[in-house]
């Protein structure tokens, strides 16, 4: 800038450069306008809003303090009371369920023992029945064999008698 100023200082271009600088600052340099708008906005914001945010923050602080100091301990105490009562009830319910399960297990075991005894009894009856059937079959076979022998004898006698008549 100094060099330009020193070069332009003695020349007739100096007023033109000065005019161009003014035109530039008025048309293209927006910094003073923006700074003015910013100052106006901040002034309006502070005047219109005042201390409203501060009051809101103070109310929030008071609400949080009250919640932490009064409401939260009450909630914790109520929760502890209810949880201990609920825990006792759950323990009692678990004990009752355990007893019921034990009774049911014993009943199932008794039922299984009864079924096993019935099965053993049925097996014993079946074996006895099969032995009896074997004996009866042996008796029937023996009677059949004797009847067959008698019939053989009878037929052989009949053949002999028939043989007598055939020779006539």
Checking if the pLDDT of 26 tops 80, the result is no
Q: How far apart are CA 6 and CA 55, in angstroms?
A: 60
Question: Side-chain half-sphere of 110: how many Cα atoms within 13 Å?
Answer: 6
Checking if the pLDDT of 138 tops 70, the result is yes
Q: How far apart are CA 21 and CA 6, in angstroms?
A: 16
As a whole-number percent, the residues of the chain with pLDDT over 90 amount to: 43
Checking if the pLDDT of 7 tops 70, the result is no
Q: Which residues contact 72 (CB under 8 A, 6 or more apart)?
A: none
Checking if the pLDDT of 112 tops 90, the result is yes
Helix (H, G, I), strand (E, B) or coil at 12: coil
Q: Are 38 and 29 in contact (CB under 8 A)?
A: no
* Interval 79-105 mean pLDDT: 93
pLDDT tens digits, 36-46: 888 887 777 77
């Amino acid at each position: 800038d100094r060099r330009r100023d020193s070069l332009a200082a003695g020349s007739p271009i100096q007023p033109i450069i000065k005019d161009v600088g003014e035109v530039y600052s008025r048309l293209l340099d927006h910094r003073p306008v923006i700074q003015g708008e910013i100052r106006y906005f901040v002034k309006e914001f502070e005047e219109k809003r005042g201390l409203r945010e501060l009051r809101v923050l103070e109310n929030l602080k008071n609400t949080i303090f009250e919640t932490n100091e009064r409401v939260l301990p009450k909630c914790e105490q109520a929760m502890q009371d209810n949880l201990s009562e609920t825990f006792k009830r759950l323990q009692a319910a678990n004990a009752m369920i355990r007893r019921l399960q034990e009774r049911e297990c014993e009943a199932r075991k008794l039922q299984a023992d009864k079924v096993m005894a019935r099965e053993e009894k049925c097996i014993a009856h079946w074996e006895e029945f099969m032995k009896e059937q074997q004996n009866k079959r042996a008796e029937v076979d023996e009677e059949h064999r004797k009847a067959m022998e008698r019939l053989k004898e009878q037929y052989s006698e009949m053949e002999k008698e028939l043989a007598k008549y055939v020779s006539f």
